[in-house]
Chains A and B, each alone.
Chain A
Amino acid sequence: MTPPETAAPLLQLQGVGKSYGGFHAVDDVSLTVHAGERHAVIGPNGAGKTTLFNLVAGTLRVTSGRVVLNGRDVTRAGEHSRARAGVGRTFQHSSLFTTQTCAENVALAVRRCIGLGTSLRVPTKARGELARQVADLIERVGLTDRAGDLVGDLSHGERRQLEVAMALAGDPALLLFDEPTAGMSPSESGQFTRLVQALPRTLTVLLIEHDLDVVFSVADRVSVLATGRLLEQGPPEQIRNSPQVEAVYLGTGHDEVFIA
């Protein structure tokens, strides 16, 4: 495994918080993800993981703190600006266009990346390039056989793979996964783990994940979130053996026991 600390910081959260009235969903979270790192955020239900994820993706705006991407302050940048700045993401609840084929879904992303997203027609000479990039992305996630099938006919795991293909369009620097293996069968999540492991190290990965097996086989570093605050951060071995983390998961003060 590469020692991530030597690489440049790609994503920095500085004292990030999100509150609703007097209620803090995410409270003063600071963490740094270095270029090439695979960073996982874990925590029991209601810990604020999804809120934190949305703050990074730009879906929600922070109420305090800063978000810095590749040295650039993107705290005020919206979702699409962050996407254009190199953030690709998948969604927790699969949000693909189910009445279209896999290829059409990916083409939507590729057209935007080659500047044809809102054109009135695709010039003949650009059609080859478009088709090539779409085929390429679909192959990278192993869906070539299903390229022409409707997304509605895909299995849950296959949809997640397609999500990755769309997120990879336009070569993002940072890839965000929002509970990618939720609802997957064990074999599907195994396949998904291999897909993430096979991603090039030029890509930085931040994932929010329930399945600790996936986390410990993918992540270089793990952050633990509880009631909106950062509880502990470190390499997987440290987290695995942390009594503090164990206490949170075994339900001191929480009704829901975390199931790994």
Chain B
Amino acid sequence: MSDWLNAGLLVNIVDGVAIGGLLFLLAVGLTMIFGLVDMLNLGHGALYMAGGYGAFLVLGSGPVSLLSFALVAVLVLGVGALAGLGLGVAVRPLRGRGHLDQALLTLGLGIVVAEVFMLLAGRGFQSLSVPQELGRSVRLVGESYPLYRLVVIAVSAVVAVLTYVVFERTRAGSLARATVDDPQMVAAMGVNVGRVRSAVVVAGAALAAFAGVLGAPLLNLRPGVDTEVLVLALIVVVIGGLGSIKGAVIGALLIGQVQTLGVSLFPGLAAYALFGVMVLVLLVRPGGLYGRAAA
């Protein structure tokens, strides 16, 4: 390996995987809620933001132990799940009014949630400390690399495998995916469509809030972070294809690289690259990499 490669490129690539992991945690909920519940949750970015700021309000920006960090992360996961339940209830009155109203409601609720946290935590830049036990660096192919980021990658990978197995490798999962086209048929096969859908919203919301905690030591907490991560997650979903877990993984890893490697190699072109990747994918596959082509 050349010095040039050693001098940070590899670190950049691994950073990209970590960012990709965070994006996956967001995008997987977004894509599965859409694929199975037929609802676009534009409050997903606000859930991320709420998770991050929630943890910040409890832990502050000072040093934290792994135990308290993990406890707060689990707590946020639970609160996120409750928020998912709440979201399901909140959109219920709009049933029958179509996608648009649902999406708008989630967007509006997201704005309210985000602004409430702005009132609580202020508009300055905040961040969470890396848990002390994970604060050190490890040797990675001859380079020193922050352990915490590797943990983020590992956690995301576990979630990815779990969701993949549940949705794409079990009969209930593939049946659930067929509900969008022909709910009657699937209902006739003895699957409780309603329960599957609520579970997906709850899990998706919990993961989004959890990603907020996990991401807070890496990315600053600041006003507008909700829309920023939402946009990135949406791009991931567009690239990967609606309702596809495999697509969310590939899309998240791709965008993670564009955001890190792309920025360090071509600083001026990062914004174009983001759009360029999306355009390229949509030109070749209008439904995204693993999306269904027709509609």
What are the residues of chain B within 8 A of A90 when measuring CB–CB? none
B188 within 8 A of A: yes
Closest to A18 in B: B181
Q: How far is the CA of A54 from the CA of B188 in the complex (A)?
A: 19
Closest to B167 in A: A21
Closest to B188 in A: A46
* A21 and B181 form a contact (CB under 8 A): no
B162-196 vs A, Cβ < 8 Å mask (1 yes, 0 no)? 00000010010111011001101110111000000
Smallest CB separation, A172 vs chain B (Å): 21
B58 within 8 A of A: no
* A20 and B177 form a contact (CB under 8 A): yes
Q: How far is the CA of A256 from the CA of B175 in the complex (A)?
A: 19
User: Given A20, A54, A61, A78, which contacts B178 in the complex, CB threshold below 8 Å?
Assistant: A20
What are the residues of chain B within 8 A of A22 when measuring CB–CB? 171, 174
On B, residues with C-beta under 8 Å from A are: 168, 171, 173-175, 177-178, 181-182, 184-186, 188-190, 292-294
* B188 and A25 form a contact (CB under 8 A): no
A51 within 8 A of B: yes
Closest to A62 in B: B294
Among B168, B178, B184, B189, the one with the most A-chain Cβ atoms within 10 Å of its Cβ is B178
A51-62 vs B, Cβ < 8 Å mask (1 yes, 0 no)? 100100000110
* A25 and B181 form a contact (CB under 8 A): yes
Q: How far is the CA of A54 from the CA of B295 in the complex (A)?
A: 11
* A51 and B184 form a contact (CB under 8 A): no
Smallest CB separation, A181 vs chain B (Å): 17
* B188 and A51 form a contact (CB under 8 A): no
29 contacts between A and B (CB under 8 A): A20-B175, A20-B177, A20-B178, A21-B168, A21-B173, A21-B177, A22-B171, A23-B174, A25-B181, A25-B182, A25-B185, A45-B185, A45-B188, A46-B184, A46-B185, A46-B186, A46-B188, A48-B182, A48-B185, A50-B182, A50-B184, A51-B181, A54-B181, A60-B294, A61-B292, A61-B293, A61-B294, A255-B188, A255-B190
Q: How far is the CA of A46 from the CA of B175 in the complex (A)?
A: 12
What are the residues of chain B within 8 A of A23 when measuring CB–CB? 171, 174-175, 178
Q: How far is the CA of A48 from the CA of B189 in the complex (A)?
A: 12
CB neighbors of B among A67-126 (8 A): 78
On A, residues with C-beta under 8 Å from B are: 20-23, 25, 45-46, 48, 50-51, 54, 60-61, 78, 255-256
Closest to B168 in A: A21
Please judge, given known A-B contacts A20-B174, A22-B174, whether A51 and B182 are in contact too, CB under 8 Å.
yes
What are the residues of chain A within 8 A of B171 when measuring CB–CB? 22-23
Please judge, given known A-B contacts A23-B178, A25-B182, whether A256 and B294 are in contact too, CB under 8 Å.
no
User: Given B173, B175, B184, B190, which contacts A45 in the complex, CB threshold below 8 Å?
Assistant: B184
Q: How far is the CA of A25 from the CA of B179 in the complex (A)?
A: 11
* B185 and A21 form a contact (CB under 8 A): no
* B293 and A51 form a contact (CB under 8 A): no
What are the residues of chain B within 8 A of A21 when measuring CB–CB? 168, 173-174, 177
Smallest CB separation, A157 vs chain B (Å): 22
Please judge, given known A-B contacts A61-B294, A78-B294, whether A256 and B188 are in contact too, CB under 8 Å.
yes
Smallest CB separation, A78 vs chain B (Å): 7
Closest to B180 in A: A20
Q: How far is the CA of A76 from the CA of B172 in the complex (A)?
A: 30
Smallest CB separation, B193 vs chain A (Å): 13
Closest to B293 in A: A61
What are the residues of chain B within 8 A of A50 when measuring CB–CB? 182, 184-185
Closest to A46 in B: B188
Other contacts beyond A21-B173, A61-B293, A255-B190: 10, CB < 8 A: A20-B177, A20-B178, A22-B171, A45-B188, A46-B185, A46-B186, A46-B188, A48-B185, A50-B182, A54-B181
Q: How far is the CA of A256 from the CA of B189 in the complex (A)?
A: 10
Smallest CB separation, B190 vs chain A (Å): 8
Smallest CB separation, A259 vs chain B (Å): 14
* B189 and A46 form a contact (CB under 8 A): yes
What are the residues of chain B within 8 A of A48 when measuring CB–CB? 182, 185
Smallest CB separation, B178 vs chain A (Å): 4
Kindly list the 3 A-B residue pairs having the minimum CB-CB distance in the complex, ordered from nearest.
A46-B188, A21-B174, A61-B294
Please judge, given known A-B contacts A45-B184, A46-B184, A256-B188, whether A25 and B294 are in contact too, CB under 8 Å.
no
Smallest CB separation, A24 vs chain B (Å): 10
Smallest CB separation, A180 vs chain B (Å): 17
What are the residues of chain A within 8 A of B186 when measuring CB–CB? 46
Smallest CB separation, B246 vs chain A (Å): 11
Smallest CB separation, B292 vs chain A (Å): 8
Q: How far is the CA of A208 from the CA of B171 in the complex (A)?
A: 28
Among A23, A45, A50, A60, the one with the most B-chain Cβ atoms within 10 Å of its Cβ is A23
Among B173, B190, B293, B294, the one with the most A-chain Cβ atoms within 10 Å of its Cβ is B294
Closest to B185 in A: A46
Closest to B173 in A: A21
Q: How far is the CA of A54 from the CA of B186 in the complex (A)?
A: 16
Smallest CB separation, A66 vs chain B (Å): 15
What are the residues of chain B within 8 A of A60 when measuring CB–CB? 181, 294
